[in-house]
Amino acid sequence: MIELRTPRQIEEMRPAGRFVASVLTALQDKADVGVNLLELDALAHSMIREAGAESCYIDYHPSFGASPFGKVLCTSVNDAVLHGLPFDYDLQDGDLVSVDFAASVDGWVADSAVSFVVGTPREGDLELIATTAKALDAAISWARPGNRLGDISNAIGEVAREAGLSVNLQFGGHGVGRTMHGDPHVPNDGRPGRGLRLKPGLVIAIEPWFLQTTNQIYTDPDGWTLRSEDGSRGAHSEHTVAITDEGPLVLTARD
């Protein structure tokens, strides 16, 4: 069921958005060559406790997950692109890292993701990260009353095609509110002018993710981490966005 939020409720969601943004900023600052993925998860866990927030991940167990997630953070490295389960791994020079984080503050959820390189970057990795960020910005620009959900999806797909990338439609954006995942589903490609008409009060997570040379993925033996079928690298950008009469409001904007 699609739920629309009142202006007051959207204001009440701002603290969750600010908190999620602050955690991602702290994690990107912390991540460096030699830092263990479990250290990043521990930092996020500590910030959750200090803020009196709640994790959306630790007990999360959807049908596609092998077991309850058990961590508070998704850390996807190199050929992993989504749902990366943190494990005992020290980041290496040149690793492409995607960090996805969602939390609830005072009963409202925000969800966001960022990709970056630790140490010496490869040019192709920087281009891929920039393309996901460009696709996210393009999609957000269409998140206005009167437009259609297909306009948001098409904006993502157009950026991917311009960059010579193919799009996987198995996982995409989603509604956000009292829970992390709700209606509507927001595909990362679509037809403009089609689908749900956007109305003020709709709050969605928009999350383009791309792989360098494929759109096919498989699930790692850990039962969660999604990796590219051909070993190519992936990147992921995400924001929680409220559609308002004044235009898109990015609740998880980072300074």
Average pLDDT over residues 92-118: 98
Whether 252 shows a pLDDT value over 90: the answer reads: yes
pLDDT mean across residues, the chain = 97
DSSP three-state, residue 175: strand
Phi, psi of 126 (to 5 degrees): -65, -40
What are the Cα distances from residue 154, in Å, to 79, 91, 141, 189, 202? 25, 35, 12, 5, 18
CA 104 to chain CA centroid, nearest Å: 15
Average pLDDT over residues 65-75: 95
Q: Which helix (H) or strand (E) holds 27?
A: helix 7-30
Among 51, 88, 85, which Cα is nearest to 219's? 85
Phi, psi of 29 (to 5 degrees): -65, -35
How much of the chain, in percent, has pLDDT values that exceed 90? Answer: 97
Q: Which residues are annotated as a binding site for a divalent metal cation?
A: 100, 111, 174, 207, 238
Local confidence band at 183 (pLDDT 50, 70, 90 cut-offs): very high
Give the CATH number, domain containing residue 162: 3.90.230.10
Average pLDDT over residues 106-132: 98
Phi, psi of 57 (to 5 degrees): -105, -35
- Does 1 fall in a domain? no
- Does 255 fall in a domain? no
Sequence-distant (6+) residues with CB within 8 A of 60 are 68, 69, 180
Phi, psi of 32 (to 5 degrees): -160, 170
Neighbours of 133 (CB within 10 A): 16
Q: What is the pLDDT of residues 157-177, one digit of tens each?
A: 999 999 999 999 999 999 999
Distance CA 210, CA 113 (A): 13
Neighbours of 220 (CB within 10 A): 18
- Does 215 fall in a domain? yes
- Does 171 fall in a domain? yes
Q: What is the pLDDT of residues 227-248, one digit of tens each?
A: 999 999 999 999 999 999 999 9
Average pLDDT over residues 61-81: 94
Q: Which residues are annotated as a binding site?
A: 83, 100, 111, 174, 181, 207, 238
Distance CA 104, CA 99 (A): 17
Among 252, 255, 148, which Cα is nearest to 207's? 252
H helices, E strands: number in the chain: 4, 14
In this prediction, residue 255 carries a pLDDT of: 79
Q: Which residues are annotated as a binding site for substrate?
A: 83, 181
Find the domain containing 49 and state its range: 7-250
* Cis before 184 (ω within 30): yes
pTM flag (> 0.95): yes
In this prediction, residue 73 carries a pLDDT of: 97
Whether 218 shows a pLDDT value over 90: the answer reads: yes
Q: What's the domain count of the chain?
A: 1
- DSSP secondary structure string for all residues of 43-95: HHHHHHHHHT-EESSTT---TTSSS---SS-EEEETTEEESPPP-S-B--TT-
- DSSP secondary structure string for all residues of 108-124: EEEEEEEEEE-SSPPHH
